Amino acid sequence: MSLFEVVVLALVQAATEFLPVSSTAHLVLVPWLLGWEDPGLLFDIALHLGTLVAVLTYFARSWVRLLFLGLGKRVLSPAPDDPDAALYGNPRMFWFLVAATFPVGIAGLLLEDYVEGALRSPMVIGVMLIAVGLLIWWAERRGRLDGDLDRMSLRQAMLIGCAQAVALIPGTSRSGITIAVALFLGFKRPAAARFSFLLSSPIIAGASAKAAFDVLGDGIPAEMHIPFLVGILVSAVSGYAVITLFLRYLQHSTMRVFIYYRVIFGIIVVALALFFRFPV
């Protein structure tokens, strides 16, 4: 694959992994529309490693704070206007995140073959794009949108964790479904997105590690060295930028643009499934 293809797909991965629009359909549809060959699982691992680097780098200070708070110590105390300030009102947040990770981990182990087989169809992807878009719209209309992470309970964290398990269905979007449920529970948009990203970190790490273990045992072919490294670098840098801009955007804006995008894109995918041979 050319470096141009590498850069385009890395940018697509970074944007769709963190924005609530679903990465699965985009990474299939874009190469198909442009007439490119399937980049393969090895390149997919590179892209996920890049987005992992992005989310861990962005939230590195937050994770240090959370870990020490969970152990009863306060380090790197945030300023009052720091987004992490709310975490200090909820010293059990680290353990909430650990507990909320279990539903998707268990579901992934039990349903991996089914998700990668029967559910990986264009019709499922299109329907879920539309359905979760409408769910976000409903959540924005019904949620109070005034809560912050200092008021999150274990029950609420587990509900969001169970929603993350639903994101195993292609087309759902991990950030889309978890943010929607957090909005239903009354959290502010930035707080909902922040918890969603923190919750995604161990899942992206676990999925990347499993895929790397399955594929990288024989090493990386010589012709993939540069695409692999460039894919990691571009998806990491652009992913960090996407997280920054998205959290800033939610400070003053609604999720409306993503709702419209999901519904329109979902209709396109359903149409492709009905009238064309869609490569999933």
* Residue pLDDT, tens place only, 106-131: 988 887 777 766 677 888 889 999 99
Per the CB < 8 A criterion, the answer to whether 42 and 215 are in contact is yes
> Whole-number mean pLDDT of the chain?
88
> How is residue 16 written in tokens?
């769709």
198: confidence class by pLDDT, cuts 50, 70, 90? very high
Round to whole Å and give the CA distance between 125 and 270. Answer: 8
pLDDT tens-digit map of 8-50: 999 999 999 999 998 877 887 888 778 888 777 778 888 888 9
Strand partners, 147: 187
Quick check: 77 pLDDT over 80?
yes
**Residues contacting 33, CB < 8 A, separation 6+:** none
155-174 in b/e burial notation, b at 16+ Cβ within 10 A?
Answer: ebbebbbbbbbbbbbbbbbb
Q: What is the pLDDT of residue 96?
A: 96
Helix (H), strand (E), coil (C) string for 113-149: HHHHCCCCCHHHHHHHHHHHHHHHHHHHHHCCCCECH
Instruction: State how far the alpha carbon of 42 is from the alpha carbons of 28, 184, 215, 229, in Å.
Output: 15, 37, 7, 11
Nearest alpha carbon to residue 90 among 205, 243, 194:
194
pLDDT at 11: 94
Q: Which of 274, 276, 272 is nearest to 25 (CA)?
A: 272
Give yes or no for residue 207 having a pLDDT over 90.
Answer: no
Query: Which candidate, 4, 6, 1, places its Cα nearest to that of 230?
Result: 6
Residue type, 215: V
Q: How far is CA 89 from CA 66, 84, 94, 185, 263, in A?
A: 11, 10, 12, 18, 37
